[in-house]
Amino acid sequence: MNTEPAPRPRAGFLATMKAVLWSFIGIRRRRDYRQDAESLDPRAVVVAGVLGGVIFVLVLVAVVNWIVP
């Protein structure tokens, strides 16, 4: 008899990006944090974090260039 729990399915890319964007803001419910810890792939979180950081910097540069001609 197998007593190991079934592995949880991994979260998709959009769910990973959503979790990373919420972490940028710093608002996360404990229940959602636990679900993320169980379902997110650490490599996908790193990629999503770098992608989110690059997008954030590009948006800041665009806003500054728009304000200061």
pLDDT tens per residue across span 30-69: 888 788 878 888 898 899 999 999 999 999 999 999 999 7
Residue with token string 């079934």: 6
Query: What are the structural domain ranges in the chain?
Result: 13-67
Q: pLDDT by residue (tens digit) across 15-41?
A: 888 888 888 888 878 888 788 878 888
6, amino acid identity: A
pLDDT of residue 10: 77
Question: Can you give the pLDDT at residue 2?
Answer: 62
Q: What whole-number distance in Å separates Cα of residue 27 and Cα of residue 9? A: 24
DSSP-based helix, strand, coil % in the chain, nearest 5: 70, 0, 30
